Amino acid sequence: MATYGWIIDRDMLSERYDDDSSAGTIGPGDISDTHEAELEAGNGDNFWLYDDDDELYYVGRIVGDYNGNEPLHDFGTPNAGATKIEIQPRN
């Protein structure tokens, strides 16, 4: 079971190119019920996924015990080639 969970709140690529949206995607595949419930309640630290030209691809939130690269490695890179993540903890 994963020690973290994340959700994609906005898919900037689909908004830009009128394509199928990844908004609402929750991960990783072994997310706990507790982390999923936290995300569905609107909790979590905000993150942004970018490509190597600093084009914003996705906006989301992450909860749990994480090191900061999980949404990038789990979703952003394999799904769209994202290369950078920024995280802003909520206070």
Q: Distance between alpha carbon 5 and the CA centroid of its chain, in Å?
A: 9
Domain extent at residue 76: 4-88
- The predicted pLDDT at position 17 comes to 87
User: Is residue 4 predicted with pLDDT exceeding 80?
Assistant: yes
Number of folded domains that form the chain: 1
- Cβ(77)–Cβ(69) below 8 Å: no
Measured between alpha carbons, how far is 79 from 74 in angstroms, rounded to an integer? 9
54-65: average pLDDT: 98
